[in-house]
Amino acid sequence: MPERVDDTDLLFKALADPNRRKLLDLLHASDGRTLGELCGHLDMTRQAVTQHLGVLETANLVATRRQGREKLHFLNPVPLQEIYERWIAKFEKPRLKALHELKRRLEGNGDHD
Amino acid sequence: MTKSTFVYVSYIRTTPEKLWSALTDAEFIKQYWFGVTGDSQWTPGSPWRLVFPDGRVADSGEILEADPPRRLVIKWRNEFMPEMHAEGYGLCVFEIEPAGEAVKLSITHSNDHENSKFIAAVSGGWPRIISNLKSLLETGAVVLK
């Protein structure tokens, strides 16, 4: 999948902050929360939480919905899936194959025996 | 009906018209939905089914709104897992908006159960499907089979 460099940079920058990762964990535990609810779980000013949510939204890791007068924040896992496909799955595969081969040899049930 | 809700957003470099047809064309759906396909007339009031490759019905419901190429609302119930079937109908809303050179696809899937098993299950499935759809529209190939 070709990447738009800017999007990938935004994504990794958004993930490179422990407070923003904590916000993602909070949304994972309970999705669709207001700013006020999220602030209650964090030792930060409301302004700081707003800024972090803005970075996450720009990176498309958080999606928002208006419900009446409230703005609800949702974890958007789609970019994480793209990281998984681009940066994990392809490196994981040869390693798993190597481990599988090693196990076969050590346990002595390879084809060569 | 919004006790359990997931919102998924993806920016796809395509046109609203192409994205709409990707969401409503049975042969195209099969390519990114792991062999599953959608069966409907895609007009308000028409029945809708999601069908496994072997012909079993995975999910069923009705098209509530169809405003091509902007908005599609499906009344959606699981048909193959008794626990999820028992939760009854939920809503899946597809919204398509132009966003610069790309198109923003938002999918909101919800039902009126606290801690819904069905919504939890789709939360795992949608990202893979959307990621495949994006890849197929942008490059002509899927990433996951």
Q: For position A1, what pLDDT does the model report?
A: 40
Q: Do A81 and B128 touch (CB under 8 A)?
A: yes
Q: How many CB atoms lie within 10 A of CB A90?
A: 11
Report CA-CA distances (Å) from A17 to A7, A35, A55, A81, A90.
17, 18, 10, 19, 25
Report CA-CA distances (Å) from A40 to A21, A37, A56.
16, 5, 18
pLDDT in tens, B69-90: 999 999 999 999 999 999 999 9
Residue of A nearest to B115 (CA): A30
Alpha-carbon gap, residue B71 to B20, rounded angstroms: 9
pTM equals 0.84
B144 falls within a domain:
no
B6 vs A112: which has the higher pLDDT: B6
Alpha-carbon gap, residue A17 to A25, rounded angstroms: 13
Pairing verdict, β B47-51 and B37-40: antiparallel
pLDDT in tens, A18-34: 999 999 999 999 899 99
The number of distinct structural domains making up chain B is 1
Candidates B7, B34, B123, partner chain A, best to mutate (most A CBs within 10 A): B7
pLDDT in tens, A49-100: 999 999 999 999 999 999 899 999 999 999 998 888 888 887 877 777 888 8
Assembly ipTM: 0.80
Structure tokens at B25: 């064309």
| CATH number assigned to the domain comprising residue B83 | 3.30.530.20
SS3 for A111?
Answer: coil
State which residues form the domain around B79.
4-139
Alpha-carbon gap, residue B92 to A57, rounded angstroms: 22
Closest CA to A79 of A59, A63, A65, A64: A59
Alpha-carbon gap, residue A4 to A7, rounded angstroms: 5
Structure tokens at B68: 């091509």
Closest CA to B9 of B89, B76, B95, B74: B95
Q: For position B105, what pLDDT does the model report?
A: 97
B58 falls within a domain:
yes
Q: Give Cβ neighbours of residue B17 (< 8 Å, ≥ 6 apart).
A: B68, B69
Structure tokens at A10: 């935004």
Q: Do A2 and B138 touch (CB under 8 A)?
A: yes
Structure tokens at B41: 């007339």
